[in-house]
A = this chain, B = another copy of it.
Amino acid sequence: MPYRIFVDLATPPDVLELLQQGTRGHQLLFPHKPISSVLAEPGQDPQFATAEIAFGQPDPVAIANATRLKWIHVSSSGITRYDNPQFRALMAERKIAVTNSADVYQEACAVHLFSFMLAQARNLPGALKSRAANGTPEWHALRGANMTLGGQTVLILGYGAIGRRLVELLRPFNMKIMVYRRQARGDEGVPVVTPGQLAQTLATEADHIVNILPDNAESRHFFNASRFARLKSGAIFYNIGRGTTVDQEALLDALRSGGLKAAWLDVTDPEPLPENHPLLAQANCFITPHVAGGHVDEAKTLVRHFLRNFEQFVNGKPLFDRVM
């Protein structure tokens, strides 16, 4: 049977063509104003209620009213706006499958995080500005502050697709790698830190704190004043998850007091931070504007991932990246 697929995703001509080819025989519905940001709030579109499949960032209210809906493919890795008990219950009751695009962003996010770790280790922001002559005190100071990662400990919070890939990339660097999970499942391949052990690990072991926690009720301000208060000397904080998982006031205090040596953030709350936000003026805080998942041909990768799942859906096979 031909499906009606509602697509709210920016689709340049070549991407649209790819999508049309891969869904031939089915009907694509586009909103009048396509949604381009993963964090924007989409409006509602009357066509939506007639679709069996939604691809993009469909509005939860519209979903509740779309009685023919069978499958939602979210065009991001994060599923914040859907990740609550009410929505999950609705999906279960209506037998709507929800998948996300974790596979699409895993590599880019892991590589972006890695670029943060290495830029920090080699002090690139400072070194690229310096014109120090060999042998001068400034030059010795620059060289002497550089690091190699070897022998240091990295703690990864949020151990999904991105975290697993990051562990693979970190393997050759001779670091101690630990992951934080509510409960160890035994298949992590690296030591697991459980909630009861977290404070101790942060205080005595973690040189690099990698926050990839998703945004949900439990993770809101997970990194608060109390967690930032007792960190290992020289600790560095990275966030490529969601800005809401960090109490930014507490982060600022830790950066000012020296409790944290530096922070590297791809996400903030809100995005972007307002012009006068003190984190922007903090010299040991480095911010990229939510681009960790970005990569050449991202829209094509997204569509290919959807089409791979669409084929599974049409053939009644299990969907990839299913989250509900």
Q: Which A residues fall within an 8 A CB radius of B?
A: 10, 36-40, 107-108, 111-112, 114-115, 118-119, 121-125, 127-128, 130-135, 139-140, 142-150, 168-169, 171-173, 271-273, 280, 286-291, 293-298
Contacts and interface: CB of A to CB of B under 8 A. Distances in A.
A12 to B, nearest CB: 10
Top 10 A-B residue pairs of the complex, sorted by shortest distance between their CB atoms: A143-B294, A37-B135, A115-B118, A37-B134, A127-B288, A115-B122, A146-B294, A36-B135, A131-B272, A132-B289
A124 B124 contact: yes
Contacts of A131: 272-273, 280, 289
The quantity of this chain's copies bound in the complex is 2
B38 A134 contact: yes
A147 B296 contact: yes
Contacts of A125: 128
A168 B112 CA distance: 19
Given A127-B289, A127-B291, 19 more contacts: A10-B140, A36-B135, A36-B140, A37-B139, A40-B135, A111-B118, A115-B115, A115-B118, A115-B121, A119-B124, A124-B124, A130-B289, A132-B272, A134-B271, A142-B294, A144-B294, A144-B295, A146-B295, A147-B296
A119 B139 CA distance: 21
25 contacts: A36-B135, A36-B140, A39-B135, A107-B150, A111-B173, A112-B146, A115-B124, A130-B289, A132-B272, A132-B289, A133-B289, A134-B271, A134-B290, A142-B291, A143-B291, A143-B298, A144-B294, A144-B295, A144-B297, A144-B298, A146-B291, A146-B295, A146-B296, A147-B296, A169-B172
A148 B111 contact: yes
A297 B145 CA distance: 9
A60 to B, nearest CB: 19
A48 B288 CA distance: 53
